[in-house]
Amino acid sequence: MKTYRIAAIPADGIGPEVIDAGNEVLAALAEQEGDIAFDVTTFDWGSDYYRKHGVMMPEDGLEQLKPFDAIYFGAVGAPDVPDHVTLWGLRLPICQGFDQYANVRPTKIIPGVQSPLRNVKVGDLDWVIVRENSEGEYSGHGGRAHKGMPEEVGTEVAIFTRAGVTRIMRYAFSLARQRPRKLLTVVTKSNAQRHGMVMWDEIAAEVSKEFPDVTWDKMLVDAMTVRMTLKPQSIDTVVATNLHADILSDLAGALAGSLGVAPTANIDPEGRYPSMFEPIHGSAFDITGQGIANPVATFWTAVQMLEHLGQPQAGERLMSAVERVCAAGIMTPDVGGTATTREVTDAVIEAIRGRNTLATVETATD
Ligand SMILES: NC(=O)c1ccc[n+]([C@@H]2O[C@H](COP(=O)([O-])OP(=O)(O)OC[C@H]3O[C@@H](n4cnc5c(N)ncnc54)[C@H](O)[C@@H]3O)[C@@H](O)[C@H]2O)c1
């Protein structure tokens, strides 16, 4: 029996709703697998904690998280707390403090979920976006001078280091190599940004020599949005900077049907620290407490967690259960269904146990 220690940080808005659902599904999966167990410790960090203590997590938060095998994260964001406080107070310190430099965002059209793209079927859109997660535009460099004065200045400096770019390129090429098409697109903006982005391109070309079996191309980020929309079949693995991939992966989530199904993993590929797994979406306060949050992204990121923990078979069992439930039309309203979070969760648990017979509805793509 292998027991994994999981730190759950549900945080804000629908975060607790989807993480509770995820924990239930993981417990059912462990029971079914028989030889794995999850020892989940829940941390009450987030905006409520901020209102009480003036910080999003305790000062020794990272020390408390260090002994865990993985972090299962909900979402941060509250209407009455500035977004830069919630983000920089919890999520980013974990990503940066644990050097989770590879942010991996798979996207595909799940059977039963309708893509807003005409003529795009299941299998036509199957991507993994690798986002540089430690530097670039979100490195936190910059400042403000003469605050509130007419001559006020604000700078936001993007940092690109040879070490940082090289390691994310290696990660992306290596991931592309593991996928059947062995195809990588390097996203850039080196026409307009002629320092860091030109170095980014040069390092991509250098690292590509280590991966002669991977076909790769280069695409300006603006043109990439067009390609994602008009020729989704031409894309497989993508690597982009922190900001570019942040934006492109929201587009990817929307093109695959809903943000509610899009997962992400913040990985420390060297395994020095726990990696963090979360849905891409935020705290969605417009639907908080209504019981209709889509838990699929949170289930899918658990699949990524299982793969990372060396349990790909358990991951496959969970993904297949999720796909069967969606294909049977048991989905929340954001993807065109009428089911509640509870109903989707129960259906996935039953599918894991192999107890429900799910009829596949006509795949909703035209
Ligand atoms: N990783 C994170 O923690 C993260 C990511 C994005 C936004 N945020 C924060 O979340 C807050 C709200 O931001 P936003 O509204 O721009 O983005 P959001 O992702 O919370 O919501 C965008 C839209 O998608 C819907 N949606 C999102 N997840 C859903 C789900 N699981 N099921 C059904 N519908 C879902 C919401 O109802 C909303 O209409 C802000 O404070 C923002 O800073 C946090």
Nearest residue (CA) to ligand 1, atom 44:
282
Give 169's contacts (C-beta < 8 A, 6+ positions apart): 186, 203, 204, 207, 239
Predicted pLDDT of residue 364: 38
Q: How far is the CA of 77 from the centre of ligand 1 (A)?
A: 8
Question: Which domain-ending residue is among 256, 289, 312?
Answer: 256
Predicted pLDDT of residue 117: 92
Handedness of CA 185, 188, 191, 196 (dihedral sign): negative
Q: Is position 190 within any domain? A: yes
Q: Is position 360 within any domain? A: yes
Among candidate residues 320, 332, 352, 267, the one with its CA nearest the CA of residue 18:
332
Residues 137, 69: one domain? no
Beta strands in the chain (DSSP E): 2-11, 36-42, 70-75, 102-108, 126-132, 136-145, 153-159, 183-188, 215-220, 237-240, 263-267, 275-279
Predicted pLDDT of residue 122: 86
Residues 123, 60: one domain? no
Ramachandran angles phi, psi of 288, nearest 5°: -60, 135
Atom of ligand 1 at shortest range from CA of 78: 41
Atom of ligand 1 at shortest range from CA of 79: 41
Predicted pLDDT of residue 356: 62
Residues 121, 85: one domain? no
Nearest residue (CA) to ligand 1, atom 29:
260
Residues 76, 184: one domain? no
Nearest residue (CA) to ligand 1, atom 5:
282
Q: How far is the CA of 258 from the centre of ligand 1 (A)?
A: 11
Residue range 141-169, pLDDT digits in tens: 999 999 999 999 999 999 999 999 999 99
Residues 126, 197: one domain? yes
Report the C-alpha gap between 50 and 63 in whole angstroms. Answer: 19
Ordered alpha helix ranges (H), 87-195: 92-97, 162-178
**Residue ranges of the chain whose pLDDT lies below 50:** 361-366
Q: How far is the CA of 66 from the centre of ligand 1 (A)?
A: 27
Residues 124, 194: one domain? yes
Residues touching ligand 1 (Cβ under 6 Å) are 14, 18, 75-77, 83, 91, 259-260, 281-284, 286-287, 293-294, 297, 332, 334
Q: Is position 108 within any domain? A: no
Domain range for 226 is: 115-256
Residues 129, 194: one domain? yes
Predicted pLDDT of residue 51: 96
Residue range 248-258, pLDDT digits in tens: 998 999 999 88
Q: How far is the CA of 82 from the centre of ligand 1 (A)?
A: 15
Q: Is position 331 within any domain? A: yes
Q: How far is the CA of 257 from the centre of ligand 1 (A)?
A: 15
Count: domains in the chain:
2
Question: Which of 81, 83, 258, 281 to mutate to test ligand 1, by most ligand atoms within 8 A of the CB atom?
Answer: 281
Question: Which domain-ending residue is among 235, 256, 277?
Answer: 256
Residues 174, 236: one domain? yes
Q: How far is the CA of 285 from the centre of ligand 1 (A)?
A: 7
Predicted pLDDT of residue 366: 34
Question: Which domain-ending residue is among 196, 228, 256?
Answer: 256
Residues 167, 236: one domain? yes
Q: How far is the CA of 281 from the centre of ligand 1 (A)?
A: 4
Residues 92, 127: one domain? no
Residues 142, 251: one domain? yes
Report the C-alpha gap between 79 and 177 in whole angstroms. Answer: 42
Nearest residue (CA) to ligand 1, atom 36:
284
Q: How far is the CA of 356 from the centre of ligand 1 (A)?
A: 31
Instruction: Give the CATH number for residue 351.
Output: 3.40.718.10
Q: Is position 110 within any domain? A: no
Q: Is position 85 within any domain? A: yes
Q: How far is the CA of 284 from the centre of ligand 1 (A)?
A: 4
Atom of ligand 1 at shortest range from CA of 77: 41
Residues 3, 85: one domain? yes
Please name the residue that has the structure tokens 């726990």: 274
Q: Is position 125 within any domain? A: yes
Burial 90-111 (b: 16+ CB within 10 A, else e): bbbebbbebbbbbbbbbbbbbb
SS3 label, residue 301: helix
Q: Is position 107 within any domain? A: no
Among candidate residues 131, 122, 123, 116, the one with its CA nearest the CA of residue 230:
116
